[in-house]
Structures are given as structure tokens and as C-alpha cells.
A and B are shown apart, each in its own frame.
Chain A
Amino acid sequence: MNNHEPLIHIARRDGLVWWRAWCVRLVSLILALLVSALFIYSITKLNPAKVYAAMWEGAFGSARRAWITARDASILLCIGVGLAPAFMMRFWNVGAEGQMLMGGCATAAVLIYCGGALSTFQLLLLSAVVSVAAGAVWGVIPAFFKARWNTNETLFTLMMNYIAIQITCFLVALWENPKGSNSVGVINQQTQAGWLPALFGKQYLLNVVIVLALTVAMYLYLKYTKHGYEISVVGESENTARYAGISVKRVIVRTMALSGAVCGLSGFIAVAGASHTISTSTAGGRGFTAIIVAWMAKFNTFVMIVIALLLVFLEKGAVQIASQFHLNDYASDVVTGIILFFLLGSEFFIQYTVRFRSHSQKNEEVEA
């Protein structure tokens, strides 16, 4: 009978010690760099070491570049932090893009309509509040339908993105400045009213501080509060939640309100703290990239810091090598792709062990 046994057995691991898991990740990163080096050399005949140095240069080569990297990483991190509670609940919120855009639109509206009337502090407070509310509404709508009629949240949140994009298009047309440019331009360029101010002379320090504070708060919320406990139980098994007397519907709606709110706040940071304008590319796919951030970090918001930095580093590095070595954009995308492929693939080997047929017999005997 054994002739018919499959050649490869894939079995779930019983949990790997944390340091061995990180060893697997490190090895896969090294492998990724080696394969990328091979790719770079075989295609471009460039010295891979120089290419890697250029990537570093692109992300951290100067103080200004490092700050832009930090700014972009913090926005990505903010969305990832927003996704964490939803994902912990096994609610696949792929609507961060839309929730962020709605937050961005709300912020832009406050800056445009109240720019002259309120002080900067009042403007910031007001736009933070309305952006949080806008994101929360965008998160609660699919959650309500999920809780009430068990609709598919992935499709629902995804479609909410397109509605948000259309609303943004409409608002861009409405706020067009100057007329006919089809863009809003920099809002309050002269007065800088409602812009996030520099902190200790560093323009983007406040962005980073806000997001790091959120990161810590979300970590504590998920780990130590009753709400966080309920989210974990609902995510693990709705049956157990009902058994324990948890109202699954209420937890779903409440958690998505929070998730949408934080994603909405990322829109506020992007508009008031970075671009000072609004367009359909304000989110720019970061709502989706943040899904990778949240997943790779296993919803641990502190690990998300590392992942967000890594992704932004790869992006900046790719742009740098494309311009420095006159490479096609796609070549640098391939390098980024290889690195991500290996890092995501390593999770498979952390979760599962692969055994070959000839060995499996012996293993079973040993285990028996």
C-alpha cells in the first residue's frame, strides 16, 4: 500500500520556538538577497553589492530622505495598526484604502472650508475628529451587514473602496484649484492653516509620534482590555463567543468602527501631515500594502513597525536603483518581489514541516 503513499507529506508544526522562527526568517532574507543578486548580475551585469548600497542610499542616504522614509512608513504603519483589530477578529477588512480616503476627504474639507476661521489647533482637532468619524462610518457599514445578514466582508469592504474613490473624484472636481487643473493643489499653501506643525524643527516628527502612540495604544487595547479579549474570542470561534455570552454582532460592529476610525486617521495624517492635498492617489494602494504589514506581523503592532519600515525601504530603494543605474522600473520591482516572496514563503516553513515519504516511516516510528 505504501507505494501509493504520496511522495511529500506536509504536516502542521506544533508551534516553533520564537528564536527558531526568526532564524527561518533571517535565512530566507539572506536567500532572497542572494537570489536577487544573481538576478541583478545575470540581467544587468551590475555589481549586486553596489546595487544594495544604492538601495540603502535611496532610503536613508540623507536626513531628508530618512525623514521621508519615516513619514511614509508611519502612514503605512498607521493603516496596519488600524487593520489589526479587524484581522484579529478574522474580519477581512480590505477596505482600508477607502476608509483612509474618506478620512483624507474629511480633513481636506475642514482645511478648505474652515481654513480662515479657526486656529491651527482647532483645525487640527476638528479635522482629526471628522476624519476618524468618516473612517468609522466606512468601516461600520460592511460590519453592520456582516453582523445582520452575514454578507461577505471581503467583497463588501472592497466595493466600499470604489465608492470612496468616486466620492474623492467628485470632491476633487468640486475643490479644483486653479480651475481646470483637475487637482486640488496644495491646500492653504500661504497660511499653512491646519497643517501638522513641525516638532523640534523636524517637519514629520509629529506624524511619527502620533502613529507610534497609536501603535502602543492598540497593542495595549488588544492585549489587556476586555474589548481586546472579546475580539480574540470572536476571531477564534463564534460558537465559543456565544457560549461565553459575548454578543458577536456588537463586537463585530464596534471593532470595525475602531478599525475604520484608525484608517480614517491615517487619511488625516496623509493630508494634514504629508501631502497637504487630496486626490484619488492619496491612499495610493497603501490600504492594500498595509494588509501585508498586518499579516506578516501576525497582528502584533510592534512587529508592524519593522515590517512597515522594510516595505518602505524596499520601495525607496527600488526607485533609487531605477534612476541611479538607468534601469527600467520593473527591474527594481522584481528585486522587491523576490524579497517579499521569500519572506512570505518563510511563513509556510514556520507553520508547516515537509517530510518525504522514505523518512516519514521512520519519523512515525520515532514518534510512536
Chain B
Amino acid sequence: MAEEFAVRMVNITKTFGHVTANDKVYLELRKGEILSLLGENGSGKTTLMNMLSGIYFPDSGQIYIDGREVTIASPHDAYRLGIGMVHQHFKLVDVLTAAENIALGLPGGAVVDRKAIAARVRQICDRYGFDVDPDKKIYDMSVSEKQTLEIVKTLYRGAEILILDEPTAVLTPQETEKLFAVMRNMRADGKSIIIITHKLNEVLEISDRVTVLRKGEYIGDMDTAKADVRALTDMMVGRTVTLNIQRDAPADPQRRLEIRNLTVKDKDGVTRLDDINLDVYAGEILGVAGVSGCGQKELLEAIAGLQPAVSGSSIKYRPTGPEGPAEEMLGLGPRAVSDRGIRLAFVPEDRLGMGLVASMNIAGNMMLKEYRSGKSPLVERRRPYDMARDIVRELEVVTPSIETPVRRLSGGNVQKVLVGREIAMHPTVLMSAYAVRGLDINTSYTIYRLLNEQKKAGVAVIYVGEDLDVLLQLCDRIAVLCGGRLNDIVDGRTATKEQVGYLMTNLNKEAGV
């Protein structure tokens, strides 16, 4: 009897430092089926697939392809086994044509036979219904065309098993339909496909089976025919866990930020934020929920002045409440914002790549936002050291000394340094993105405590999070983003996990077009 499974991953564990990305995970892909891999942000989906495509090497566990145990130590091994992955970020060379990109890295002589490649590309396209012009340069292509090319590339290399990492995140609904049609054609041709996605309606529409991961653990799988949105949401978000995070009622909340018609496009012209209208109040914690890449980053960066917005967008800052004077923040840039006395604290997602200077010591990082103050051409030496010592003492930062480059601190201590600095500037608005990602329980609670103290002090706090339990127990209101739109704003005290999970993955008809 022919082997039933194209892929079996058994007991796969992968850790990065002290973070366990995959903990004894199972995955089975039958031949000729489309399997959805479903899970929240940070549930380990991409890590698992990266091990199948040879980018990471598992710490332990076995991988079987066609029933044979294999070792996949490099993407090259994966290709030899007929595994092809289309990543979220395309790996194409801009200045080359489609055909040249396909030929890149393939074995063969020094001469590239463009005609033969183009002929085979056309053959693949005709077979599955792709639309690719082999002679088109990548820089002339739309996002959807690039993605199509990536899929054709894997097929050209003989992939029998395809992995698509959130392919629909960058596509319009029409393009998504086209992609699904092609996927069905590939399935009919006997290819086995894994699609990573957060979108429940897509899971139900395209896949035969679904495997769910949560926080790096395997939760289960089921036939899509037997699944519905409710059951999948439950599997994905899990039971509600009581965390005992303190939450006081907001004292005298005053409108501090008015975000109106905020629309942001990235450099490829893809709309990342679509017509957001949102008020942020002083003295409350506003949660922002959404699956990854739904515009959270762009929202915070637009407020911080790091992200240009489409004209007609507006973010007004009202230091003294709704009747007081208002100042337009968009278009100022971070320096002008701080020069106007708007004390805006921002704890970005990329702590070492944006919030801190990795190679500098704690004191050097303390100066980052205030080094400019004063007339002297020299930087102040003593104050940053005092600040660094205060933060190390108050937040119990574990470090050999304040001279140690922050790059060498553990994730939790890096975050304490960053949050400590931002709070030390006595902000009126405090934004944080994934503030507790990768942190242990104790450090996480320290962060919650600090945010609560800021709320009490009348700061407008924005908390972008991924753990729904935390969002529901820390935040006063939760704005749920879905595909760059503001799907709904719910009350953190009365909303349920299922409700938020549903809003994250299903665009409201009223909010949609």
C-alpha cells in the first residue's frame, strides 16, 4: 500500500535561548490534501514550517517524508525532498526577470537557457492556471504577481509538498480567490499543501483538514468538514486563564488623542491601515488586539511620527482634554513632536533594533531621547549614569554592570531597561508593542504593574498585545484590528475571549466595504 502521509512531524521541539517555540509538536499532511495550520501570533507555526523547509534544525523529534525518516539540514535538503516554501517576505531579486529568478540557484552549466526556462514556466502556468510573464522584471510586479512567481518557482524545482506562509495577508479578496483556485488545481494534481493562516473563513473555505497550535504546543487537528468558527476559535485561544492582574476603574478619563481617518500605505502601495477612527483617553489602558501584521505596528509608528500617512489622515493631541487646545501630530516627525513638549513614550516591538542601541551600555541608552537637551556640544555624562543606576535598582535589572552592552542582557532585562527609560521621561502618552513577548512570568507582572502605575498617574496608555487573557484582564477598552481596519472596540471588563478572537479573524460587515 502506498504511503498515506506526505509529511509526518513527530515530537518536534525547538527552543531559542530560554524561549520554547515548539514543544513536542505533531503534524501530519496527507497526500493530495490542503492542510491549514492555525494559531495565534507566536504559536510556533512559522517555526515549525521553517524546520520542514530546512531553515531551522529541530532540537529533537523526527520528520518523515513519504514514510521515510529524513534529516533536513538546509533548504537544499528540503528541495531534494520535494518540499517548497513560500515565505511571507518574498525572496526575489528585484532587477532580474521572473525566469531568471526561477533559474537562480539551480544546478546547471554557466549558460542560462532562458528559452527553455520560459517554456517550462509557461507549461506549469497552463497546467495550474497561473498567470506569469517569464520576461517581466520583479520591480514591475505587483505583490500578488510576486507571490504567484514564488509558487511557480517552487513547482519548477519539483516541489510535491508546498508550504504557504500566510499567503493571503497581502492579497485583495479577488486575488485570494484566484490563489485558492490555483491551490485546488494543484491539489487535483496530487500536490500536498500546507497553508498557514489566521483567517478562519479561509480555513473553512480552502482546507481539507486543520491543525491547531497554541503557544508552541500541539492542540489537535480535525477535518474541516466537521469544524466551525466557534470550535476553531476555542482551540486557538484556549480556555480563559485567570491572571489576577490588578485593574482599577479609570479615574477621570479625558480624551487625549483623536485619531481620524488614519490611512497608511507601505512602500509597495499596500494599504496597511484603512480609515482608522479611534480616541485614546488619559488614565486608561487601551488594548489593541489583532493577528500579526494587521496594522498594529503602523498604528503606533504613525502616532510616533515614524510612519507617513495618506493625506486626510489626522492625529490630534489634546494635552488638557477635549475642550483644550489641540495639536496635529501627523507629519511632525519624532523630533518635532518632542520639541513641542509632547512627551510621547514608545516601547516598540523591535527592542534592540529600534528602541535601544544594542552595542551601547545602559547609560548610553538612557540618553537616546534626551541627549539633545542643553546647549553644550558635549553629552551629559552624569545624569544618564544616575538614571541607569536608578532603573537597575528599582526594576531589578540583572546585569554585570551598567557598562555592559544591552545586547548581552537577557530579553526581560532588555525590556526593563527600555520600559524604565520611557517611563522616566514622565510621558503623557505611553505606547507599548508586545511589551511582555518572550518575558518570564515575574517580569511580565512587573511590566503590568508599571503600566498600571502610569494609568493611575493619568497617562494615556496604549497596549498592543497578543495574549488575549492579558488584554482582557489588563485593558479598559480593547480596539480589535482586522486586516488594517478597526473591526470593533469592546469593553475589556465584559468582552469574552471568544468574542475578541472572532473579531480578530472575521471582519464585521459594517466595518468592511
* B359 and A226 contact, CB distance less than 8 A: no
Complex: A242 Cα to B333 Cα, angstroms: 9
Q: How far is the CA of A239 from the CA of B368 in the complex (A)?
A: 12
Contact B357 A236 (CB under 8 A): yes
- Please name all residues of chain B whose beta carbon is closer than 8 Å to the beta carbon of A243 when the two chains form the complex: 304, 306, 334, 346, 348, 354-355, 368
From the candidates B337, B377, B405, name the one contacting A227 in the complex (CB within 8 A).
B377
Residue among A4, A224, A228, A239 making CB contact with B71, cutoff 8 Å: A4
B371 within 8 A of partner (CB): yes
Given contacts A237-B358, A240-B353, contact A229 B371 (CB under 8 A): yes
Contact of A233 among B71, B333, B357 (CB under 8 A): B357
Any B CB within 8 A of the CB of A244 = yes
Residues of B within 8 A of A247 (CB): 335
Distance to closest chain B CB from A365 (angstroms): 13
| Interface flag for B73 (CB, 8 Å) | yes
Among B334, B350, B364, the residue within 8 A (CB) of A245 is: B334
Contact of B360 among A225, A227, A232, A242 (CB under 8 A): A232
A201 at the interface (CB under 8 A from B): no
Interface majority SS on B: helix, strand, loop or mixed? loop
The answer to whether the Cβ of B495 comes within 8 Å of any Cβ in the partner chain is: no
Q: A178: which B residues are within 8 A, CB to CB?
A: none
Residues of A232-254 whose CB lies within 8 A of B: 232-233, 236-237, 239-240, 242-247
Whether B91 is near chain A, meaning CB under 8 Å from some CB there, is no
Total A-B contacts with CB atoms under 8 angstroms apart: 69
Complex formed: what's the CA distance from A101 to B381 in Å? 39
Q: How far is the CB of B349 from chain A (nearest CB, A)?
A: 11
Report if A15 contacts B (CB, 8 A): yes
Contacts of B369 in A (CB 8 A): 244-245
- Report which of A1, A4, A224, A236 forms a contact with B378, defined as CB distance below 8 A: A224
Smallest distance from the beta carbon of A79 to chain B beta carbons, Å? 25
Q: Closest approach, in angstroms, between the C-beta of B114 and any C-beta of chain A?
A: 28
Shortest C-beta distance, B209 to chain A (Å), equals: 28
Docked CA distance A230–B377 (Å): 12
Q: In the complex, which of the residues B338, B357, B377, B378 contacts A237, with contact meaning CB atoms closer than 8 Å? A: B357
Of A14, A15, A229, A246, most B-chain CB atoms within 10 Å:
A229
Give 14 new A-B contacts, CB below 8 A, not counting A229-B364, A243-B346, A244-B369. Answer: A4-B71, A226-B371, A229-B371, A230-B371, A232-B364, A236-B360, A239-B353, A239-B354, A240-B354, A243-B306, A243-B348, A245-B335, A245-B372, A247-B335
Cross-chain pairs A/B with CB under 8 angstroms, 24 sampled: A4-B73, A15-B405, A224-B381, A225-B379, A226-B371, A226-B377, A226-B378, A229-B371, A229-B379, A232-B359, A232-B360, A236-B359, A236-B360, A237-B353, A237-B354, A240-B354, A240-B355, A243-B334, A243-B346, A243-B348, A243-B368, A244-B369, A245-B369, A246-B335
